[in-house]
């Protein structure tokens, strides 16, 4: 495994934190769940509130029999590093100038610089898990791939605080903009606010953040929010992006290297796990059964789950945010979509099914 940053840097970043049942199952099946099962917080569903009213609870457990876990990506990364150390896997950090070559041959080459040495690694396969800004996707010729992109005209300002979170994950649609209440532990809360793209963190001292957050929730929920000093604050733009296919010769893309979702829906990390599940299964079939069938359908199979999550993340983003420049018509249509969701059980079941994530496809 080649990593650009240091371990300390990787483990200092606050990232996603809501795990689908499928992700929880994959971590358990691979012996990676001991700490997650101890420290993670199970949830049966999530709440949506709007226009100062108490809204609805989307009961995912009741409708589709699946649960969620709030457990931080940073904790999963710690658990993965620990597992890699236990099996004495070679993990190189501080790796620079990575380039991929001869991807259409049986022996792709990965060249990089590490501790001042220029190294050429002869591989059998390359898993490109290096994120949206990584080198893997750009190693595929433009003529051999197609990109689908949507940029949203706002970002999320996120805050982490050592305070007791609200009991549920709660999405809020408010005239002042979207807000989200989430958690990373019994005494670690994560909150987000929709903000303009040019927002500067320095303009958002903690007091302003908490006041704005409370203004976007109905009074009873606002009163339950426990404030405190932030221990992390960041702004991220919202974007949908897919690059197809997810394979080029012996290079297989997984996670943000191939697709990005806006955080509404908490799908990014879960999709990365699902790609890796499909890829690991395909590589096992290659090495154990001498079969390339699953490698050959990796991209198609992974993309079905990717597009399902891309679509629901886009839908929730459109449903829950206030769009600059939206017309009165757009606004009314959004309000009535929320009313429909509140009044229709089939609509709630459909959202629950997609929010929970599609089941994995079988190997046949």
Nearest C-alpha neighbor of 3 from the set 98, 120, 87: 98
Look at residues 321, 329, 15 and name the one whose alpha carbon lies nearest to residue 154.
Answer: 321
Tell me the C-alpha distance between 314 and 152, whole Å.
Answer: 10
Does 270 engage in binding with ligand DHB (CB under 6 A)? no
Q: How far apart are CA 60 and CA 73, in angstroms?
A: 22
**How many residues are given for the chain?**
364
Among 190, 216, 259, 305, binds ligand DHB (CB under 6 A): 190
- Catalytic site residue from 152, 192, 217, 355: 355
What is the rounded CA–CA span in Å between residue 118 and residue 288?
A: 33
The contact mask relative to ligand DHB for 112-151 (x = CB under 6 A, - = no) is ----------------------------------------
Question: How do strand 251-253 and strand 126-128 relate by DSSP bridges?
Answer: parallel
Is 298 designated active site?
A: no
Q: How far apart are CA 355 and CA 349, in angstroms?
A: 10
**Shortest distance (Å) from residue 267 CB to ligand DHB:** 8
Confirm whether 217 is a catalytic residue.
no
**Interface with ligand DHB includes 182 (CB under 6 A)?**
yes
Annotation marks residue 43 as catalytic: yes
- Under the binding rule (CB under 6 A), the answer on residue 155 touching ligand DHB is no
Q: Which one from 108, 267, 298, 321 is the annotated catalytic residue?
A: 267
Contact assessment for residue 130 and residue 257, using Cβ atoms and an 8 Å cutoff: yes
Cis peptide before 103 (omega within 30 of 0): no
Asked if 264 touches ligand DHB (CB under 6 A), the answer is yes
- To ligand DHB, the closest distance from the beta carbon of 290 in angstroms equals 41
Helix (H, G, I), strand (E, B) or coil at 37: helix
2: DSSP letter: B
The CB-of-213 to ligand DHB minimum distance in angstroms stands at: 14
Question: Which of 40, 55, 108, 263 is in the footprint of ligand DHB by CB under 6 A?
Answer: 263
Identified catalytic residue from 108, 165, 262, 263: 263
Applying CB under 6 A, does 56 fall inside the site for ligand DHB? no
List, by residue number, the catalytic residues: 43, 171, 263, 267, 355
Residues forming contacts to ligand DHB in the complex (CB under 6 A) are: 16-18, 169, 180, 182, 190, 263-266
């Amino acid at each position: 495994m080649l990593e650009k940053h240091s371990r300390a840097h990787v483990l200092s970043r606050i990232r996603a934190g809501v795990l689908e049942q499928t992700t929880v199952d994959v971590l358990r099946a691979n012996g990676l769940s001991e700490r997650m099962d101890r420290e993670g917080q199970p949830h049966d569903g999530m709440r949506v509130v709007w226009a100062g009213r108490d809204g609805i609870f989307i009961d995912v457990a009741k409708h589709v029999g699946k649960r969620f876990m709030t457990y931080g990506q940073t904790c999963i990364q710690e658990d993965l590093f620990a597992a890699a150390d236990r099996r004495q896997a070679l993990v190189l950090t501080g790796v620079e100038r990575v380039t991929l070559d001869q991807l259409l041959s049986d022996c792709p080459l990965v060249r990089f610089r590490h501790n001042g040495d220029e190294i050429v690694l002869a591989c059998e396969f390359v898993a490109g898990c290096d994120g949206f800004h990584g080198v893997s996707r750009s190693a595929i010729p433009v003529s051999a791939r197609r990109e689908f992109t949507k940029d949203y005209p706002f970002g999320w300002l996120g805050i982490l605080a050592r305070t007791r979170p609200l009991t549920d994950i709660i999405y809020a649609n408010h005239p002042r903009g979207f807000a989200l209440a989430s958690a990373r532990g019994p005494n670690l809360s994560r909150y987000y606010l929709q903000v303009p793209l040019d927002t500067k963190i320095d303009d958002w001292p903690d007091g302003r953040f908490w006041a704005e957050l409370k203004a976007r929730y109905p009074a009873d929920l606002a009163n339950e929010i426990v404030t405190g000093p932030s221990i992390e604050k960041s702004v991220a733009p919202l974007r949908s992006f897919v690059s197809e296919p997810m394979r080029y010769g012996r290079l297989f893309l997984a996670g943000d290297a191939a697709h990005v979702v806006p955080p509404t829906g908490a799908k990014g990390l879960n999709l990365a796990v699902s790609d890796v599940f499909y890829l690991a299964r395909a590589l096992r079939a290659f090495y154990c059964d001498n079969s390339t069938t699953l490698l050959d359908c990796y991209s198609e199979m992974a993309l079905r789950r990717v597009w399902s999550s891309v679509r629901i993340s886009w839908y929730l983003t459109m449903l829950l945010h206030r769009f600059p420049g939206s017309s009165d018509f757009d606004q009314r249509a959004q309000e009535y979509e929320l009313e429909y969701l509140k009044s229709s059980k089939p609509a709630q079941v459909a959202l629950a099914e997609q929010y929970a994530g599609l089941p994995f496809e079988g190997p046949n």
